[in-house]
Amino acid sequence: MAVEATTASSSTTSIYENPKSKLGTDEFLQLFLTELKYQDPTEPMDNEKILTQTSQLSTLESNEELQDSLNLLANGLQSSSQFSIISAIGKTANTGQDSVQIEGGNSVNFSMLFKDQIDTGTIKIIDSNNNTVKTMDLSTHQNSKGSLDFSWDATNNDGVIVDDGSYKIVASYLNTNGKSNTSTLGEQEIQSVKFDNGKAYLKLGSEYISSDEVKEIF
């Protein structure tokens, strides 16, 4: 943006450069003073025009102050959001991913969260038709709690490799006090939080996932 002002008695030209093409308070004031400096002395700027331009300068200053306030508010909201995520450590996150995918008969590894100590129970693997194709005994994990790791060899209860597809995993168990509980794949305790380029990642089980992938925290 360039503004030229020339006097009636001289060919001298004053040029003010604004490389960002942004008219801020300082740029507006310099243009105003330049206009006063090079005005025709025989026809000076009238009072009404001066008042109009000073009013515009005041409005511009107010707009810049408002923008600064909005920026401060945005930064405050971001800090508040980060604090809220950090305060979720120790709570349970649900990613909504309650199934595993079987391809080519390959085995799969998965983790499940058990909030109470296990006494007895089973893990059921259910196909898309809601049929239980595999039952895994939890007796080997008696008195265990927290995030536990499991492996499924992709076979059904008869030892036959299942078809490719999605299989839901649900655990039902009694804790050491005889209380009935359930656990669903996709639920894990939030162990820690890290930030990378302003984005939050939650540690669930043995891996970090983006907070965008979490459907619910409770």
Which option is the CATH number for 92-217: 1.10.10.10, 2.60.40.4070, 2.20.25.90, 3.30.70.890? Answer: 2.60.40.4070
CB-based burial of residue 155 (10 Å sphere; 0-12 exposed, 13-18 middle, 19+ buried)?
middle
CB 208 within 8 A of CB 201: yes
CB 131 within 8 A of CB 124: no
Q: In Å, what is the CA distance from 164 to each residue of 103, 131, 154, 157?
A: 5, 15, 9, 16
pLDDT tens digit string along 107-137? 999 999 999 999 999 999 999 999 999 999 9
The pTM of this model reads: 0.59
- pLDDT band with cut points at 50, 70 and 90 for residue 33: low
Q: Rounded to the nearest 5°, which phi and psi values hold at 158?
A: -95, 5
pLDDT tens digit string along 148-159? 999 999 999 999
Structure tokens at 177: 């006090």
pLDDT tens digit string along 179-216? 999 999 999 998 888 888 878 888 887 788 888 888 88
Domain regions of the chain by residue span: 2-86, 92-217
